[in-house]
Amino acid sequence: MPLQPLAPRRLYRQIANQLRALIRAGEFPVGSRLPPERDLAVQLGVSRPSVREALIALEVEGLVAVRMGSGVVVTAQEPAASATPVDAPFGPFEIIRARQVIECELAAMAALAMDAAAVDSLRQALAGMRADVAGGRAPVQGDRQFHLCIAAAADNGPLLRTVTELYDERNTPLFEQLGQHYETLPTWRAALAEHQAVLDAIADHDPEAARAAMHDHLQQSHDRLAGLLPVAGHPAAA
């Protein structure tokens, strides 16, 4: 059964469906390795990030194990009975792109609107992130506080709700599993520097610099998770 080129609609689910069918048919037996992400992307005519999302979805279902440095190993022919179905309408990389569109402009607005007290709240959020990273923990709570504080500066309820909902997509099984593999303490340290650049631009009341710094941060976040940048270290502690 050859792999088939795919249309761009919800690609990760289409890719996962094809690979699941091939595993079920025995073309990738238990214990075998799937082709590398890059090769699958070429065969399917899709991006490597879309393939990565699909492989993570299959891992959540218990069909494969993603082993850093040694590839993706088939672990079962059928999803585990206790497996969490992966039916999220959007993949993690779509979510990050949506955040990039919205949060870059919100950072620029925050640079114009934030007073000293609001900037101090950003500093506190970043300090909390630094403390978590220093303790070997993923600083998700401080990260959420940082981004929502910026969104709140627009004084617009629908925008704040949108950013909150997009950020909280991190809590889906697909996003969580992706983060377990590719969010590491070194990548969080890089993210701290990116957050500091956003904070500095907002504190300087420079909207263009704030917009650019937020764009860079979310682009780097996307590229780290997508495997477009080197992965260093081991997964951060939860």
At 135, which CATH number? 1.20.120.530
Residue 178 resides in a domain? yes
Whether the per-residue pLDDT at 232 is higher than 60: the answer is no
Spatial neighbors of 42 by CB under 8 A, at least 6 apart, are none
Tell me the C-alpha distance between 117 and 158, whole Å: 23
Whether the predicted pLDDT of 223 surpasses 60: yes
Instruction: Please check whether residues 60 and 98 belong to one and the same domain.
Output: no
**Same domain for 128 and 57:** no
Same domain, residue pair 54 and 105: no
96 in the same domain as 209:
yes
Residues spanned by the domain of 68:
11-74
pLDDT grade for 1, boundaries at 50, 70 and 90: low
Position 114 in a domain? yes
Count how many domains the chain has.
2
Kind plus residue range of the DSSP H or E element containing 208: helix 207-226
122 and 46 co-located in one domain:
no
124 and 68 both lie in a single domain? no
Would residue 104 count as lying in a domain?
yes
**Which residues in the chain belong to E strands, given as ranges?**
64-67, 71-74
pLDDT tier at 11, thresholds 50, 70, 90: confident
Residues 22 and 104 in one domain: no
pTM over 0.75: yes
231 is a domain residue: no
84 is a domain residue: no
pLDDT over 60 at 140, yes or no = yes
- Both 152 and 193 in one domain: the answer is yes
156 assigned to some structural domain: yes
Q: Are residues 159 and 69 in the same domain?
A: no
The structure tokens 């500093």 sit at 123
Same domain, 125 and 60: no
The pLDDT assigned to 84 comes to 72
Euclidean distance between CA atoms 16 and 59, whole angstroms: 10
